[in-house]
Amino acid sequence: MKVLVTGGTGFVGGHLVRELLRNGHRVVLLSHHRAGGAEQGVTVVRGDVTDPVSVGAAAWGCDAAINLVGIIREFPSRGVTFDRLHPLATRNVVDAAKEAGIKRYLQMSALGTRKDALSAYHRSKYLAEEYVRASGLEWTIFRPSLIFGPGDAFVTMLADQIRKFPFIPVIGDGSYRLQPIHGDDVARCFVSSLGMPESVGRCYDLCGIDRFTFLQLIAIIGRVLGRSSVTTVKSPLGLIKALVPFLQKIPAFPLTSDQLQMLLEESICDGAWRRSFPFEPVRFEAGIRGYLKRLT
């Protein structure tokens, strides 16, 4: 199968492209920059997901389309906004797929996405999902939890902080829970669903099998790095909520009001996806040990 992948040059895209190739598919990768020397089985097409013409050109001749495009933080001065990169980009990919005669369509959304979400991130993801659902395509939507793996942002950032600093700041009491899933497992679900008619018209929440609090997450990362314990300093939640709206205007500040809201809402699911995709997910500690140890 020849598969158009948008957003495929990022962290999750790397896992997905490898899994597609491993399963004998060919990949058309839409990219801002025409990369030289693409690996065998990958055709890189220069374009922008916000440009309908370039998306349309990349879609011709493909049998399926997978849209991974997403951002976690807005930078309006650069044109990087939720509205532009979620609903608009999705509309462009869906429309291009329909014009090219593609019927099979997979969309990456996010755990917690819903119409009445408090975060603008989740609301924009929901608008994108609604366009997919109304498209008439043979669609499947995946909503992953926090994704970990080589090249991730969140776990690697925490590990770096544990190495460099004497303590780790924690928002509130740190009891909010996460259920991270490995990038390879997300990719396996996407690629498997291409050949699963029963997954058409379904939305899957994806999460790992290990569920723990933020404090436990820090302790696990510390253990992998050889630390017997990690010192944490808890910051009053009310103070953080008051300060973040002002501090998030500084690009280097690592937290926005949306991200804070999503963290406090937790990122967990019931694991029902495993009934449709019956493989054993990567355990969190074993998974991060494989790549954090190489960074020490």
**Does 37 score more than 90 pLDDT?**
no
Cα end-to-end span (Å), the chain: 40
**CATH code of the domain occupying 2-148+181-207+269-281:** 3.40.50.720
pLDDT of 296 strictly over 80:
no
DSSP 86: I
Per-residue pLDDT band for 295 (boundaries 50, 70, 90) equals: low
Place 220 in a pLDDT band, splitting at 50, 70 and 90: very high
User: Looking at residue 39, what is its pLDDT?
Assistant: 82
Calpha distance 137→88 (Å, rounded): 17
Given a contact cutoff of 8 angstroms between Cβ atoms, the answer to whether 180 and 146 are in contact is yes
Name the helix (H) or strand (E) containing 27: strand 26-31
Mean pLDDT within 36-61: 90
Question: What are the tens digits of pLDDT across the range 232-281?
Answer: 999 999 999 999 999 999 988 989 999 999 999 999 999 999 999 999 99
Residue extents of the structural domains in the chain = 2-148+181-207+269-281
Please name the residue ranges forming H helices in the chain.
11-22, 52-59, 82-83, 89-99, 120-133, 154-164, 183-193, 214-224, 237-247, 257-265, 284-292
pLDDT tens for each residue of 259-270: 999 999 999 999
pLDDT at 252: 86
Task: Say which amino acid occupies 248.
Answer: Q
Please check whether residue 28 is in contact with residue 90, taking contact to mean a CB–CB distance below 8 angstroms. Answer: no
Residue-wise pLDDT for 105-129, tens only, equals: 999 999 999 999 999 999 999 999 9
What are 158-206's pLDDT values in tens digits?
A: 999 999 999 999 999 999 999 999 999 999 999 999 999 999 999 999 9
Instruction: Bin 41: left if φ > 0, else alpha if -120 < ψ < 50, else beta.
Output: left
Q: Sorting pLDDT into bands at 50, 70 and 90, what band is 35?
A: low
The pLDDT score that the predictor gives to residue 33 is 73
Measured CA to CA, the distance from residue 92 to residue 107 in angstroms comes to 13
- Taking the model in full, what pTM does it have? 0.95
Tell me what pLDDT residue 139 has. Answer: 98
**pLDDT on residue 203:** 98
pLDDT at 77: 87
pLDDT given for residue 293 in this prediction: 78
**Cβ neighbours, 10 Å, residue 216:** 15
pLDDT of residue 254: 87
Q: What is the pLDDT of residues 124-159, one digit of tens each?
A: 999 999 999 999 999 999 999 999 999 999 999 999
**Band (104; pLDDT cuts 50, 70, 90):** very high
